[in-house]
Amino acid sequence: MKLQEILQKNIKRVLLTEDEIQRRVKELADEISRDYSQAEKILMIGILKGAFIFLADLSRQINIPHSVDFMAISSYGKGATSTGAVRFVLDLREPIENQQVVIVEDIIDTGATLKYLYKILQSRQPASLRTCVLLKKQRQQLDVPIDYLGFEIPNVWVVGYGLDYADTFRTLPYIAELKQEIYQGT
């Protein structure tokens, strides 16, 4: 099937255009650059797979010294069946003790992933720990601090700009809502 046909079959509507996302990413990068202007260096930690595009764009707009690293966590059962349980898949290459750390996530749904990661990273004694999240769903979530937030979105399944459904749609330049019948029952 051609990409256009796949999109027509699966996508309900575009929630955030490429322009809207890029504008907001630049604003977040400016805010982070300002807040850490006195820091010698910061470490941006992207949570795979979802955050890979957001981190790539955000880090290229940040105009203070920084490095990037990655972690991967997998949630058991998403959507309506989500249990909130998470599994550690990939760890950082270096210790983060005494570093200024910013966790970069694509989306907060239940909050389980970020809460789990925040606790793990906090226990490694960074000099500071903040979170930067592109999307936050409007639903009940676990209590976890969000220092930099891109957008609040409705409680629907979104794809694109790193976010997937069954590992597809991640490379769309915009963020779109999936048709409900596609993800119902998952």
Which residues contact ligand PRP by CB under 6 A? 47-50, 74-75, 78, 82, 105-113, 164
Work out how close the CB of 40 gets to ligand PRP at its nearest, in angstroms, rounded to a whole number: 29
Side-chain-side CA neighbours of 163 within 13 Å: the count stands at: 22
Task: Please give the DSSP secondary-structure letter assigned to residue 82.
Answer: -
| Cβ–Cβ < 8 Å for 51, 162 | yes
- 110 is written with which tokens? 């239940």
| Cβ–Cβ < 8 Å for 159, 169 | yes
- Let me know if 109 is a catalytic residue: yes
Work out how close the CB of 80 gets to ligand PRP at its nearest, in angstroms, rounded to a whole number: 12
| Cβ–Cβ < 8 Å for 131, 145 | yes
The identity of residue 11, as a single letter, is I
Q: Of 33 and 118, which CB lies nearer to ligand PRP in the complex structure?
A: 118
Q: Of 39 and 49, which CB lies nearer to ligand PRP in the complex structure?
A: 49
Q: For residue 124, count other CB atoms closer than 10 A to its CB.
A: 13
Work out how close the CB of 88 gets to ligand PRP at its nearest, in angstroms, rounded to a whole number: 12
Please report, for residues 79, 82, 107, 119, 158, the alpha-carbon distance to residue 185 in angstroms, rounded to integers and kept in the order given. Answer: 8, 11, 21, 31, 16
Point out the catalytic residue in the list 19, 57, 91, 109. Answer: 109
Work out how close the CB of 49 gets to ligand PRP at its nearest, in angstroms, rounded to a whole number: 4
Q: How many residues are there in the chain? A: 186
**Residues with catalytic function:** 109
